Amino acid sequence: MEIIITNTPEEVGRVAADLIAGVVRSRADAVLGVATGSSPLATYRRLAELSAPGTADRVDFSAVSVFALDEYVGLPDGHPESYAAVVQREIVNPLGIDPANAHVPDGSAADVDAAAAEYDLAIAHAGGIELQLLGIGRNGHVGFNEPSSSLTSRTRVKTLAPQTRADNARFFDSPDQVPVHCITQGLGTIGDARRLLLVAQGVDKADAIAHVIEGPLSSRWPGSILQLHPHATVVIDEAAASGLALADYYRSVQEFKPRAA
């Protein structure tokens, strides 16, 4: 796992966006996994700058496909806090992605279990995800894989933890409006991506980051699956890194990392 510690939350977004832009520059029709929530917003803002018309070395996202990590179950079509709406608003429109190439689990399906299985197959039929962007919850969840999730789980329906619902209540008019269930890519599905990129900012994420990076592999901290991945990168600011025992070592690794000629 590569650990990159930046000075500011904004720099987290810049570093992560540059990594994503490199994937798209090398393959115009790349398949990307996208996350919602607050952690990736700085990354999306920087990608919007890189994809703006007239920008030098502009990154063209028009042929890129994206798959969202998750979706609430039971929100009405068009609800502004559905992840279908969020992906359209924060990713598809700003980056100029073809809406037909944007995929989100169907949380309003009559059979949500079947919809989850179909979503897992759709990712495979697209050739798999080249790079999966991840945030992390304070309890260590990635996607909506709450603590105790199977490390080999596939896309499925999950019950949201009380902490997760409380953290997401800020997006709704009242806590009671936050859905109880979701469809989420499983930890096994996430691990199938050829590259994982996790971003986190702020001291509220420091405990989760410390467990995910330096703790044992455990379903108690679902994000610890990154320890198993052959190409995982974590980009965090100083506050999110404040619980790491080996932070100085990670900084040293970056300082002396071999650079391409």
3-state secondary structure 147-167: CCCCCCCCCEEEECCHHHHHH
Catalytic annotation on 7? no
Catalytic residue (choose from 146, 167, 192, 237): 146
Marked catalytic residue, from 79, 103, 141, 211: 141
Name the nearest CA neighbour of 3 among 194, 192, 134, 198: 198
Catalytic residue, from 139, 167, 192, 237: name it.
139
Task: Examine the residue annotation and report whether 146 is marked as an active-site residue of this protein.
Answer: yes
Q: What are phi and psi of 44, to 5 degrees?
A: -65, -35
Q: Which amino acid is at 118?
A: E
70 is catalytic: yes
**Amino acid present at 124:** A
Phi, psi of 152 (to 5 degrees): -110, 15
Please identify which of the residues 11, 70, 130, 167 carries the catalytic annotation.
70
Tally of CB atoms within 10 A around 102 = 19
**Which sequence positions are flagged as catalytic?**
70, 139, 141, 146
